[in-house]
A and B are shown apart, each in its own frame.
Chain A
Amino acid sequence: DAGITQSPRHKVTETGTPVTLRCHQTENHRYMYWYRQDPGHGLRLIHYSYGVKDTDKGEVSDGYSVSRSKTEDFLLTLESATSSQTSVYFCAISEDANTGELFFGEGSRLTVL
């Protein structure tokens, strides 16, 4: 299994509070991604990174920010969580974006009350 660790794995928070999810990889892969998965919507890309300090938006980036200060860590921040951000969040990594082969972390289940 690819060395990807997401933390926390489960979190319950209240509306309006900030939340940070962490993705840590030990594979030294260049590309990292944050997806959310919701019933009826499938996997949707939030943000991705193609190198240290190089990030870009995905299709559902509103309300989210990311940072990547080291190759191994990719942080997803919800500045002020809303109930619509209740979801399962997956981090993914890839060595070569052209292959489309993503390795996913185990997911972080976030509930915003």
Chain B
Amino acid sequence: QKEVEQNSGPLSVPEGAIASLNCTYSDRGSQSFFWYRQYSGKSPELIMFIYSNGDKEDGRFTAQLNKASQYVSLLIRDSQPSDSATYLCAVGVGSNYKLTFGKGTLLTVNP
């Protein structure tokens, strides 16, 4: 059974700091990796995806992938209170019909 593990948190960081969110996965055949953000009481929204080993940057967000270690992370630079949300890691194998989601990490950015 495919598993995606995330630290449930809460992860608390001060405003302006770097927030680091981590995710590990069990299926070595996993090929695509996604980070979704979910505000309390709202629906998830995609913020990053990464397919290849290394780093991918988009504004204040950087996704990092290490397939050998089966590890994917999301860094949020210059964290803002508006970044306070639950971050969901999702993993796909082959076709992404059946993404497997982690349970999410709750991030709180303190002003």
**Chains A and B form a bound pair:** yes
Chain A residue, CB-CB nearest to B45: A104
Q: Which of B13-21, B58-66, B70-78, B91-99 contacts A (4 or more CB under 8 A)?
A: B91-99
Q: Does B109 contact A (CB under 8 A)?
A: no
Q: Does B88 contact A (CB under 8 A)?
A: yes
Known contacts A97-B95, A99-B96, A102-B99: does B88 contact A42 (CB below 8 Å)? yes
A102 to B47, CA, bound (A): 11
Chain A residues with CB under 8 Å of B44's CB are 43, 90, 102, 104
Question: How many B residues touch the partner, as a band?
Answer: 20 to 34
Whether the pair A100, B103 counts as a contact (CB closer than 8 A) is no
Whether the pair A104, B43 counts as a contact (CB closer than 8 A) is yes
Interface centre among A31, A42, A56, A98, by most B CB within 10 Å? A42
Whether the pair A97, B96 counts as a contact (CB closer than 8 A) is yes
B residues lining the A interface (CB < 8 Å): 32, 34, 36, 42-46, 49, 88, 90, 92, 95-104
Instruction: Show 21 A/B contacts (Cβ-Cβ < 8 Å), sorted by A.
Output: A31-B97, A40-B103, A42-B101, A42-B104, A43-B44, A43-B88, A45-B98, A58-B98, A59-B100, A90-B43, A90-B44, A97-B95, A97-B96, A100-B32, A100-B34, A100-B90, A100-B96, A101-B34, A102-B44, A102-B99, A104-B45
| 10 A-B pairs with the lowest CB-CB distances in the bound complex, closest first | A104-B43, A100-B96, A42-B103, A43-B101, A42-B101, A100-B92, A97-B97, A101-B46, A100-B34, A97-B96
A residues lining the B interface (CB < 8 Å): 31, 40-45, 48, 50, 56, 58-59, 90, 94, 97-102, 104-107
